[in-house]
Chain A
Amino acid sequence: MCHRRGANEEKRRQECGWNVAAGHGRRPGSYNSPVANSIAVVEDEDNIRETVAFALRREGYDVRMFRDGLEAWEAFDGRLPDLAILDITMPRMDGLELCRKLRAKSETLPIIFLTSRDEELDRILGLELGADDYLCKPFSMRELTARVKVLFRRLAFLQDPKAQREEAPLRCGPLELDLQRYLVTWNGRPVELTVTEFMMLHSLVRHPGHVKSRKQLTKEGYPNDTYISDRTIDTHIKRLRRKFEEVDARFSAIETVYGVGYRWVSGGPGP
């Protein structure tokens, strides 16, 4: 999502000390100081909306519920929430349109999509909407709250570049993974990944050269979710590769091992 965040931010990120020795990151959720905490849940299914709102409120967030895109958009009235969870198919105004409207107002607002079709996931990924994550229905509430936490943490660091890092980034050749902020650079250039993509990449990079099966990637990409199809994993890997290729046309570090899964070929082409 390089197109989304300005060069300004890129500069800010360069400033905050990347070159620290390699080390392992913490699990999401271990960092616990949400700077911002208002969340908009836009979903036309009453029961899903209410359960999600209930669960997030229990985590201490300020949650507002909306039944469709138009209702949400009118209610925001210029004051955006700190994070938005959007369903895709909704009457009056669907999630895609609302996302576009929100992006026009804010480039950094974290957005999570809830989708109910695999095909839908393919389509919305192709739209380059600049969402920060996607969860397929039926998703697990634990998974959703974990993602929300990660996104708030990423947001906090982006808004306060001076904040000290507790842990060193994971380095592997030209690749650098910042496990606290869920940020990635390749040859020093930032690659904008969704949280799921980041987690899958981390899983691959942690053991360079080792083949990860789709099942393993599912487990690590969606730690709390078990109903993810192999196709969804393939879609994410395809996206990952494309995002790296946008930064470096010669990128080929993610290798498909036919019939088994994927692996990270250590190093890859240097600068």
Chain B
Amino acid sequence: MHRISIRLMAFNLLLVFLPVGGILYLGSYETKLLAAQRRALEEQARLLSASLSGYDEPARRASDVLAQRERLQASNEEPVRLRVVGTNGRLVADSLTFSLRTAPPENRARRNILYRTGATILRPVLGLSRLTEPPLAEAGSDQLLGREVGAALRGDVASAERISPDNRSVTVSVAYPIRSGGRIGGAVLASQSTFTILQDLYTVRLGVLRIFLISLVVAIILSFLVGTTIVKPLQQLRVQAGEILDRRGRLRGRFRGSDKKDEIGDLARALERLTGRLDEHVRFTESFAADVSHEFKNPLASIRTATEMLAEVDEPAQRKRFRRMVEQEIARMESLLSGVREVTMIDAQLPTEQRQRVDVAALLGRIVEGFRMRERDRVEIGLETSGEGFDVEASEDRLIQVFVNVLENAISFSPEGGTVTVSVNRNDRKITTTISDQGPGIPEGNLGRVFDRFFSHRPDTSRARTSHTGLGLAIVKATVDGYGGSVDAANNPGGGARFEIRLPAAARRES
């Protein structure tokens, strides 16, 4: 069992135990009833005692009174038995001998197996110990030895409770002294079974016990159900959390999320996002180090072999060739280094940089002008703008770098005499810049990788390598992402690659 399950179970059971409080209350109710009964008996005993006092021979008189009284007694009540004893404790008269009634039928409640089991369990708990009062008289003897009779003969009023001879109920008896003159001439013993009262009480108790037992079962089932719906998903999350970290404490996976619509489902989804993001970051740092070292090994290999050759050859032309190789590769490493630095710094620097309103269309106009001058007739560059309001909030230098990198890429893939088309559109809240070329396009399988750092796919290697670090588009993506925009690569239906850069538009100026 889990702690949450146990807590739920405890709360449910606590509710169920309320009926037990009811049973306890019934116990005190019973005590009150008994006290009332005792008072009534005492009253009867006192009346009889009063009517007998002053007679020298109470015995005969007693029999007359008892017989008369028996005839008058209401038949719907539990009969009160009145007995008169002499000073020696011997029975003188007994109302039972005049009784005309039979005992009422027994209520079945107390015989019920459920009741008996409950009573066995609850009696010690509730302190309802069996009465241990010794019997009133020994079997077959008319000498009444009860404690209360003795007390009455000494002049006191006393009462006692005993288990009835039929074992079904409790009999309450009250003894009252008969005074005649200054001495005690005997005692009146009034006794009555609690049978009728108890019958009702038993029925109520059994009912409460039944309700209690049913609620108990229901509470256990409910606790289990609630426990499984809450604890199970939590447990799964815990297991997943355990699996995610390997023995050395490294992140090795992610939360799998959940379809559940409840709070635990929300928690699972939040954890999934959290670990997903963390995982991405860890992967980024791990693979970045590997990528960088890998990228540096090629120029290093070139430099190492070229310097070895420099030491071995004497021919000036060859020496010059290897020296140029070394210089080239060193330059390549430098540009790699600055590219790497740029990529890693974009995330850290973008948020703190001063941003200003930059008109993308105007900026592109200036950039395209510069490229036209450089390319002259080799590649034609067209610029189309439609609509107005091309302002974005950004650093102008960063934007220049983004557009220059994408344009450089497009021009480098363009065939001689090809056209690169740049177009700017504003739709809704985004400013979209599209840059299309007429080059070979991007192989289908590489579409998702062109923005990966160090990714470079240039079949024409003569123009590549030393001048292309494979970081240009990675810088574009990092920057555009940093500004809350997006960048996509696709192929034009008619051939050539198309890059779409979407940047969030600045709010329109109020003027």
- Once the chains bind, are A91 and B301 in contact (CB under 8 Å)? no
A117 at the interface (CB under 8 A from B): yes
Q: Which residues of B contact A138 (CB under 8 A)?
A: 297, 300-301, 303-305
Instruction: List residues of A (25-66) whose CB comes within 8 Å of B's CBs.
Output: 44-48, 50-52, 54-55, 58
Shortest Cβ gap from A85 to chain B (Å)? 12
- Chain B residues touching A, majority SS: helix
Q: Which residues of A contact B298 (CB under 8 A)?
A: 45, 48, 116, 137
- B457's contact among A50, A91, A114, by CB below 8 Å, is which? A91
- Once the chains bind, are A45 and B308 in contact (CB under 8 Å)? no
Shortest Cβ gap from B291 to chain A (Å)? 9
- Once the chains bind, are A140 and B300 in contact (CB under 8 Å)? no
Residue of B nearest to A50 (CB): B325
Of the listed residues A55, A68, A138, A142, the one surrounded by the most CB atoms of chain B closer than 10 A to its CB is A138
Shortest Cβ gap from B304 to chain A (Å)? 4
Q: Which residues of B contact A91 (CB under 8 A)?
A: 457-459, 461
Q: How many of chain B's residues touch chain A, expressed as a range?
A: 20 to 34
A116 to B304, CA, bound (A): 14
B465 at the interface (CB under 8 A from A): yes
- Once the chains bind, are B305 and A48 in contact (CB under 8 Å)? yes
Given the interface pairs A117-B290, A119-B290, the reply to whether A48 lies near B457 with Cβ below 8 Å is no
A251 at the interface (CB under 8 A from B): no
Shortest Cβ gap from A44 to chain B (Å)? 6
Shortest Cβ gap from B449 to chain A (Å)? 13
A141 at the interface (CB under 8 A from B): yes
- Once the chains bind, are A46 and B462 in contact (CB under 8 Å)? yes
A114 to B318, CA, bound (A): 24
A170 to B297, CA, bound (A): 37
Q: Which residues of A contact B437 (CB under 8 A)?
A: none
A67 at the interface (CB under 8 A from B): yes
Q: Which residues of B contact A50 (CB under 8 A)?
A: 325
B161 at the interface (CB under 8 A from A): no
Binary A-proximity of B284-308 (CB < 8 A = 1, otherwise 0) = 0000001001100110111111101
Binary B-proximity of A139-155 (CB < 8 A = 1, otherwise 0) = 11110000000000000
B322 at the interface (CB under 8 A from A): yes
Shortest Cβ gap from B274 to chain A (Å)? 28
A141 to B309, CA, bound (A): 8
Shortest Cβ gap from A154 to chain B (Å)? 24
A92 at the interface (CB under 8 A from B): yes
Q: Which residues of A contact B335 (CB under 8 A)?
A: none
B329 at the interface (CB under 8 A from A): yes
- Once the chains bind, are A51 and B294 in contact (CB under 8 Å)? no
- Once the chains bind, are A142 and B308 in contact (CB under 8 Å)? yes
- A137's contact among B297, B322, B457, B462, by CB below 8 Å, is which? B297
Shortest Cβ gap from A261 to chain B (Å)? 24
Shortest Cβ gap from A5 to chain B (Å)? 31
Residue of A nearest to B332 (CB): A47
Of the listed residues A91, A119, A140, the one surrounded by the most CB atoms of chain B closer than 10 A to its CB is A91
- Once the chains bind, are A47 and B306 in contact (CB under 8 Å)? yes
Given the interface pairs A116-B298, A138-B297, A138-B303, the reply to whether A47 lies near B308 with Cβ below 8 Å is no
B328 at the interface (CB under 8 A from A): yes
Residue of A nearest to B303 (CB): A138
Binary A-proximity of B318-339 (CB < 8 A = 1, otherwise 0) = 1000100100110000000000
A138 to B300, CA, bound (A): 6
A20 to B329, CA, bound (A): 51
A51 to B299, CA, bound (A): 12
With A51-B325, A117-B294, A141-B305 known, 11 other A-B pairs at CB within 8 A are A44-B465, A48-B298, A51-B322, A91-B459, A116-B298, A116-B301, A119-B290, A136-B297, A139-B304, A140-B305, A140-B308
Q: List 29 A-B contacts (CB under 8 A).
A: A44-B461, A45-B301, A45-B465, A47-B306, A48-B298, A50-B325, A58-B312, A67-B461, A68-B461, A91-B458, A92-B459, A114-B301, A116-B294, A116-B297, A116-B301, A117-B293, A117-B294, A117-B297, A119-B290, A136-B297, A137-B298, A137-B300, A138-B300, A138-B301, A138-B305, A139-B301, A141-B304, A141-B309, A142-B308
Q: Which residues of A contact B (CB under 8 A)?
A: 44-48, 50-52, 54-55, 58, 67-68, 91-92, 114, 116-117, 119, 136-142
